[in-house]
Chains A and B, each alone.
Chain A
Amino acid sequence: MSDLLRPVAIGRDLVRRDGMDKVTGRARYAYEADVPNASYCRLVQTTVARGRVEAMHTDAARQVDGVRAVITPFTAESLHTDGGELAVLQDQEIAFRGQVIGLVVADTAEAALRAAELVEVTCSTAPHDVALSADRDDLYKPEKVNPSYETDTSDGDVDVAMAAAEVTVEQTYTTAMYHNNPLEPHATTAFWDGEHLTVWDSTQGVHPTRAVLADLFDLDKEHVRVICPYVGGGFGSKGEPHVHVVLAAMAARAVPGRHVKLALTRQQMFSLAGHRTPTIQRMRLAADRIGHLSGIAIDVVEHTAKMKEYAEQTGVPTRMMYAAPNRATTHRLAALDVPAPSWMRAPGECPGMFGPEVAMDELAEALGIDPIELRIRNEPDVDPETGHPFSSRNLVTCLREGAARFGWADRDPRPRAREEDGWYVGTGVASSVYPVNRMAESTATIRFERGAYVVEIGAADLGTGTWTTLAQIAADALGVDVEDVSVRIGDTRYPVASVAGGSSGMTTWGSAVVNAARAFRDKHGSAPADGAEADGSTEDNPATEQYAMYAFGAQFVEAHVHRDTGEIRVPRLLGVFAAGRIINPRTARSQFIGGMTMGLSMALHENSVLDPRHGHVVNHDLAEYHITTCADVTDIEATWLDEHDPHVNPMGTKGIGEIGIVGTAAAVVNAVHHAIGIRVRDLPVTLDKLLPGL
């Protein structure tokens, strides 16, 4: 147990420090690096999903005015790699439709585009396979699921529990394929100065990107600099480097002395920037008449790429969410000819709390028990998976607090009980959960400069508020006014920091900042000389071996379904979270409502449609891949408990970037069911799925 910092700056509702630069558009993102002698890149992609590039003719492309280089798999420099997603242009094999097979560098973007269109490609094709199904005979068991969880778990015997149970639910739920689609397309500006590479890259982690580039180009890490003060959204898709940053570096090497700019197009983001696998979730719940679970099981089938394995940990939250003596989880993968899936906001928990939380609603309905009460009856005393106590677990308080705020008490549980002006009105609930993650490595430096404290750490702000919140943490750790602290992040010139992923930023970087502040005070006292400096790093937290650490939440949804057309509107969303101490309520609320709105988007709109004939996502732009717009939301509110958890870290924070999207889609499905009596088990909930039952 650690002493929590006394919150003075922590907890204050401070405006973002980068706010003025963002509302004016003066904040410089990766493509906008202010550099001389810019050249522009355009990519050439395959139009077949599997096969081999037999020949490429680039003469016509090279003759376009202003073209400086055309790079193909036949001419590209050799990277220091054994293959996989980043081994771009290294051989002629085609692993998925949309794979990059060429690159043009030109003086203008127009010339690069024209030249890319003139590259002639001859491919041989091979049969491809992008169709996921639970019936495939080639499903396999991965060794681990992301990032290093056991693939399967089993306690007791769920089959026996199901056979003996008074009430059971056995249903299959599916989530769609999703694309992160941050508003800023993945982009890089790259420059070589001899054997020194500088990239301005839109990334959730400058240091991890540097490490990957240093390996690929066989450089000393100190010879690579990655700069990224602002990230135009990432949601996981900028967590690991994708091929664009490698291509930009290759392109820049081909035009010495010039800075090269490469931005993916929106369409290219559907094949080159990661995605969330579709999931098929077979759920089994066994319960007695009063709603105590005797068994809970989830069997997950999802896809990965033949080129690179990524196993989404969809079954993981079922392991710890509710008490049940008999429990089992499995993951099976189909390796397909698709681009590599990767992280998308709350990998595992987001899809993995869809099936279970709808199944709980189905069980509540079968038992005639209120769905909130059912969850409360299955609240575990300790983590059912590890047997460890929870460092804090306030799910029940979130459910009760939310019920009171939302007006749940008078709810008539019968579907179609409420109709207003031609709309059936329903309400639904679901639980949220997200683990408290801590990354292994981060260091902060604190220096006293001209009467103020400067915090340096190679961390990232994806809109999460890091510029502001790290200053709040440093201020309290140093015992000074937050106005006397400045923060420098987003550059590998600053000390090593972990990726902004797994909602781990505050826990990891914040702990490093606190340790740096303590080291600074130990070394320099309270009246430091100008230039006084100290470092601190995040350390292992022994409490993680003794406690299960999670944030929890409860989400409430009001859904309207039109009696005649089946149109679905969601006028009201409420989330109540127990996520430890909140550093900045303003930026925290934005993260919660942002996650919930993305969850609403998943529930009603998002669906990447893979065409089995051609192997690509046919709706690969923002006109066809629908996300929630301003007109889709009315009232979305997030609030939180004043939770004090002394075990997680010195700040008492649990991480809040992802939990908002966990459970939302289930709550929407449950509300739609309550409205109209139709249970949609396959996302998204669209009116075609309701019309037959109207």
Chain B
Amino acid sequence: MDAAISLTVDGEGYRLTVDTRTTLLDALRDRLGNISPKKGCDHGQCGACTVLLDGRRVLACLVLAATVGGAEVTTASGLAEGDTPHPVQRAFLDHDAFQCGYCTPGQVCSAVGMLDEVAAGWPSHATTDLTAEPRLSQAEISERMAGNLCRCAAYVNIVPAIEQAAGEVR
């Protein structure tokens, strides 16, 4: 069974017909040729496919494409303006916050989405005072980024990269 949807991806509009079983991740990668979100597990367990869906971070492998008609999707590729990296990407480069690069687009999207969540006052498991505005500590970042696995284990570079970017993104 197919469904016709329209989508905006990284600022470009698309109309496409998708198998209703097609995930947003496969639609992006196999149908639209956007290879920025990566497939690491296809089960929502690794975070490599993280994209921003109408501004919020989601795991594209757990979203059926047919359910997001009209939505705006931003991938790590779309966060950069051509050859100019987004501040989070710049910070990842500055801190060598990656090695093989496979989890990296997901880490970047997750960080951007996470910073918005903090700005919106959303608490996390690491938030000690649920009545106050969350403050972006190392513990807050590492907790909020725990859904994005990195087997090269760049975590101790990712956290300071996000701290650096946090000031610039606001």
Question: Which A residues are within 8 Å of any B CB, using their own CB?
Answer: 15-16, 18-29, 31-32, 34, 38, 40, 108-110, 181-185, 230-235, 263, 265-266, 462-465, 586-587, 589-591, 593-598, 601, 621-623, 627-637
Contact = CB atoms under 8 A, between A and B. Distances in A.
Contact of A23 (B104, B142, B147): B104
A418 B76 CA distance: 46
A606 to B, nearest CB: 11
A108 B101 contact: no
Please indicate which of the listed interface residues A40, A182, A589 has the most CB atoms of chain B within 10 Å of its own CB: A182
A586 B22 CA distance: 40
B100 A591 contact: no
A26 B36 CA distance: 6
B43 A266 contact: yes
Nearest to B138: A634
B44 to A, nearest CB: 8
B42 to A, nearest CB: 6
A463 B99 contact: yes
The 10 nearest A-B residue pairs measured at CB = A22-B101, A25-B36, A463-B99, A232-B102, A25-B105, A463-B100, A597-B153, A631-B146, A622-B45, A23-B89
B100 A184 contact: yes
A23 B153 contact: no
Given A29-B35, A462-B100, A623-B43, 6 more contacts: A183-B149, A230-B100, A230-B101, A266-B40, A591-B99, A597-B156
Given A110-B19, A182-B102, A266-B41, A590 B154 contact: yes
Contacts of A22: 98, 101, 104-105
A532 B157 CA distance: 42
A636 B156 contact: yes
Contacts of B149: 183, 622, 627, 629
Interface string B5-45: 00000000000000101100010011001011111111101
A25 B39 contact: no
Contacts of B76: 23-25
Contact of A587 (B33, B96, B105, B146): B96
Interface stretch (B79-87, B115-123, B128-136): B79-87
10 contacts: A19-B98, A23-B108, A24-B80, A108-B30, A230-B100, A266-B46, A628-B153, A629-B149, A630-B142, A632-B146
Given A24-B89, A27-B101, A463-B98, A633 B155 contact: yes
B99 A265 contact: no
A111 to B, nearest CB: 8
B65 to A, nearest CB: 11
B40 A183 contact: yes
A184 B153 contact: no
Contacts of B146: 629-632
A181 B48 CA distance: 13
B145 interface: yes
Contact of B45 (A230, A263, A623, A633): A623
A630 B155 contact: yes
B104 to A, nearest CB: 5
Contacts of B39: 31, 185, 263
B96 A16 contact: yes
Contact of A627 (B75, B102, B151): B151
B interface, by DSSP: helix, strand, loop or mixed? loop
Contact of A32 (B22, B35, B48, B92): B35
A586 B154 CA distance: 12
B87 to A, nearest CB: 11
Q: Which of B40, B96, B150 has the most CB of A within 10 A?
A: B96
Contacts of A263: 39
Given A23-B93, A28-B35, A631-B146, A182 B151 contact: yes
Given A20-B93, A32-B29, A635 B85 contact: no
B37 A25 contact: yes
B73 interface: no
Nearest to B89: A23
Which one of B35, B89, B99 has the highest number of Cβ atoms from chain A below 10 Å of its Cβ? B99
A589 B96 contact: yes
Contacts of A630: 141-143, 145-146, 148, 150, 155, 158-159
A25 B155 contact: no
Contacts of A109: 26, 30
B85 A590 contact: no
B127 interface: no
A465 B39 CA distance: 22
A183 B38 contact: yes
Contacts of A463: 98-101, 152
Nearest to B94: A15
Nearest to B109: A25
Contact of A594 (B33, B83, B145, B152): B152
Contact of B101 (A31, A232, A629): A232
B103 interface: yes
A283 B148 CA distance: 38
B100 A183 contact: yes
A26 B77 CA distance: 7
Contact of A634 (B21, B29, B142, B152): B142
Most buried by B among A22, A234, A587: A22
Contacts of B77: 24-26
Contacts of A629: 146-147, 149, 155
Among B21, B37, B101, B143, the one with the most A-chain Cβ atoms within 10 Å of its Cβ is B101
B142 A631 contact: yes
Contact of A633 (B36, B48, B156): B156
A266 B153 contact: no
B142 A24 contact: no
Given A23-B85, A634-B138, A183 B96 contact: no
A625 to B, nearest CB: 10
A232 B79 contact: no
B155 to A, nearest CB: 5
Given A594-B153, A634-B138, A24 B79 contact: yes
Contacts of B152: 183, 233, 463, 590, 594
B169 to A, nearest CB: 15
A635 B156 contact: yes
A183 B48 contact: yes
Contacts of A16: 93, 96
B153 A598 contact: yes
Contacts of B154: 590, 593-594
Contacts of A21: 101
A233 B100 CA distance: 5
A183 B145 contact: no
Contacts of B101: 18, 21-23, 27, 230, 232, 463
A183 B19 contact: no
A266 B45 CA distance: 10
A228 to B, nearest CB: 12
A623 B85 CA distance: 32
Contact of A24 (B36, B46, B99, B145): B36
A632 B153 CA distance: 11
A182 B100 contact: yes
A586 B102 contact: no
